Structure 1
Amino acid sequence: MATFVLIHGGGGSAWDWHLLVPELTGRGHDVVVPELPIEDSSAGFAEFCETVVNAIGGRGDLVVVAHSYGGFTGPLIADKLPVRLLVLLNPMIPRPGEKPGDWWDNTGYRGPEGLSEQQQFFNGVPADVVARAAAHGRDQVSGEWNEPWPLDAWPRVPTKVLIGREDRFFPADFQRRVAADRLGTAPDEIDGGHALTLSHPKQLADRLTGYLRPAGGG
């Protein structure tokens, strides 16, 4: 049994994972779903790490799954604790010393034009789930946006990048380029958009648990 540590993205909450959690527990795994202190203007990367580490407690066999902006936090946990595997899901992949606010220009990101927020983030998500999403979003006012990412190098932990082929916010070609440039790797791919946890929870759970098998990860 592994412990999946699920780290939400920008403006997110534990709710973002609520469809994936039963898929993982139903396969016999433990799940930890911390909520980062994004509504606290005094919180930064240190406080994010403290929140996640405290939520993990004494659990072991850790698999950290970091979604989108959570890609800045996931590697910090892998640097602090004995993590078995780090999975970056439709991620922002940081470089040492990079401020999150600088990531967009540094990667050459260009946002999609002519799409609503719902079309960018929730394509493929059932309408009833989309209707509930706004009630679970949170204002991100925390201070890490202008804080240099604190690691000097990527943690020495096996790392997978997993992307949604239909992601409109971070298009697949963009994600492939950033993953190659920053980690020297080609992402694994799955059907779905940016909110894979809400659109394809079963398929995502299959892929995540597949990584735990000796021949998994393809």
Structure 2
Amino acid sequence: MKPKILAIIPARGGSKGVPRKNIRDLAGKPLIAWTINEAKKSRYIDKLILSSEDDEIIEVAKQYGCEVPFKRPLELSQDDTPGIAPVLHAIEQCPGYDYVVLLQPTSPLRTVEDIDGSIEKLLMNDADFCVSVTEPDKSPYWMYNLNEGKMSPLIPQGELVTRRQDLPKAYALNGAVYVGKVEEVQRFGSFIVEGTIGYIMGNEKSVDVDTEIDLLVCELYLR
């Protein structure tokens, strides 16, 4: 039987680095619209909803065809609110789904191929969780701690590798797609647990909008 899949776009109104970030214009559309449009193309998502406490964001999301079945409580929209809290709240408000997909609106370059690819990878591997990752520009094997000005390798190595192609592969979360079994998300309160599998995305699609420069980079890609 085809599993029932709920997709959640969390978008609070109180962003600090880029004020009103989620509805800022990006290449002719509000930032959040890029995520809504791609999620609506998915072959697997049965229901796409917004979780927000902000009336203006709610109206914009509705204009682009995203359902808003509830208004997020203010206590779940604070600077220190854990990112998983709105997801758990949305699952409670919309019961009856087998899997949940978290799509942050700050990843406007993520496409439906990435969304469906992550879902397919989870299902094909019979995994509980799958998250999108990318190979970082700077390898952690070339990173250091500074202790009273003295450098020590973040990852101790027997011998310093001087060619990038000789370094072990490393991947970082890019924040674009999180998929998990509903009951396991509720159990662990996270998508990142032992056994989580990764769906690899290219750097060119992995920009996570947190600054004005990030917006400019996305604008260049989208135009």
Q: Which one has a bigger Cα radius of gyration?
A: 2
In the superposition, the TM-score normalised over structure 1's length comes to: 0.32
More strand by share: 2
In the superposition, the TM-score normalised over structure 2's length comes to: 0.31
